[in-house]
Amino acid sequence: MQKTICITGATSGFGKACAERFAQEGWRLIVTGRRTDRLKELTEQWRDVPVHAVELDVRDLAAVEAMVRDLPAGFQNVDVLVNNAGLALGLQGAHQADLQDWETMIDTNIKGLCYLTRCLLPAMVARNQGHIINIGSIAGTYPYPGGNVYGATKAFVKQFSRNLLTDLIHTKIRVTNIEPGLSESEFSIVRFHGDKDKADAVYRGTEPLTPTDIAEIVHWVTSVPPHVNICTVEVMPVCQSCGPLAIHREV
Ligand code: NDP
Ligand code: 8X3
């Protein structure tokens, strides 16, 4: 039977690559994001793919509830939710960071992810079938200067994913947290508020992961046998590793 996947943040980067990957596999797609021109561009490339595109800001609980309530016939049984919409804003130290940036990251990466999960889970539990795939980050495990609230939101995603598994142990629902490292998308342009030169510098001299790499992993975790749950995937490009612990000396 044709399966249905709901992807948040499908207008760019990982989410868009996931939409394209699952379209190739013949899934029904629910694609969401705030930029409607991007959603239109994305869906116009497919002729035979059943797709439901929804303009959605994941921070808006009423809009999330309405989206789930108003899913059209054929799209109501969501088999996979990819909680991908998210962002980092700024790279300043905690004493200098913009509080509004912190609010936006918390509202999007934590609250938005919770809204989608809470609204789609009851139907999954009723059907005893489903898969929640959260896009965390290595920043949720390994601290780095300026990662402050962004990393903390992804640490939330890690623990929330684990706690979902404990709540759902009596069901066949799977929960996966995918934690990528350095990946080239619009992520850094957003982080630096549109400063393309700063964003390009992040990837200079590296071979980062690509959105296609992440989409392959998202597809893989859905394709293992139903009794197998890939709980966590931590993935970095070969050019990246965890830094050493730091010591500041006064001499
Ligand atoms: P992009 O900036 O390319 O894509 C982010 C997507 O999130 C866009 O489609 C954007 O859509 C959507 N989005 C942002 N805010 C909202 C919102 N309030 N409501 C709805 N959609 C929103 O970045 P990536 O593809 O790289 O990032 C995807 C996820 O992966 C994020 O959660 C990010 O934290 C995580 N990640 C990224 C890494 C990287 O190095 N790139 C590494 C590890 C994790 P729109 O603007 O149209 O709403
Ligand atoms: C994105 C990866 O290292 O830029 O989540 O925080 S990193």
Q: Which CATH number fits domain 4-235: 3.40.50.1100, 3.40.190.10, 3.40.50.720, 3.20.20.70?
A: 3.40.50.720
Q: What is the pLDDT of residue 133?
A: 99
Q: What is the pLDDT of residue 220?
A: 98
The answer, yes or no, to whether any atom of ligand 2 lies below 6 A from the CB of 139, is yes
**Which ligand sits closest to the CA of 214?**
1
Residue 181 and residue 240 in contact, taking contact as beta carbons nearer than 8 Å: yes
Residue showing tokens 């970095």: 236
Taking the CA of residue 87 as reference, the ligand 1 atom at the shortest distance is 34
The residue ranges of the chain whose pLDDT is under 70 are none
Q: What is the pLDDT of residue 251?
A: 86
Domain boundaries, the chain: 4-235
Residue 38 and residue 13 in contact, taking contact as beta carbons nearer than 8 Å: no
Radius of gyration of the chain (CA): 18
Span from the CA of 176 to the centroid of ligand 1 (angstroms): 18
What are residue 113's phi and psi, to 5 degrees?
-60, -40
d(CA 86, CA 102): 12
The set of catalytic residues is 150
Over the chain, what HEC string results?
CCCEEEECCCCCHHHHHHHHHHHHCCCEEEEEECCHHHHHHHHHCCCCCCEEEEECCCCCHHHHHHHHHCCCCCCCCCCEEEECCCCCCCCCCCCCCCHHHHHHHHHHHHHHHHHHHHHHHHHHHHHCCCEEEEECCHHHCCCCCCCHHHHHHHHHHHHHHHHHHHHCCCCCCEEEEEEECCECCCHHHHHCCCCHHHHHHHHCCCCCECHHHHHHHHHHHHHCCCCCCCCEEEECCCCCCCCCCCCCCCC
How many of the other CB atoms lie within 10 Å of CB of 16? 24
Residue 239 and residue 42 in contact, taking contact as beta carbons nearer than 8 Å: no
The answer, yes or no, to whether any atom of ligand 1 lies below 6 A from the CB of 190, is yes
pLDDT per residue over 96-122, tens digit each?
999 999 999 999 999 999 999 999 999
Q: What is the pLDDT of residue 244?
A: 86
The answer, yes or no, to whether any atom of ligand 2 lies below 6 A from the CB of 8, is no
d(CA 171, CA 45): 37
**Which ligand sits closest to the CA of 53?**
1
Q: What is the pLDDT of residue 243?
A: 86
Q: What is the pLDDT of residue 134?
A: 99
The answer, yes or no, to whether any atom of ligand 2 lies below 6 A from the CB of 181, is yes
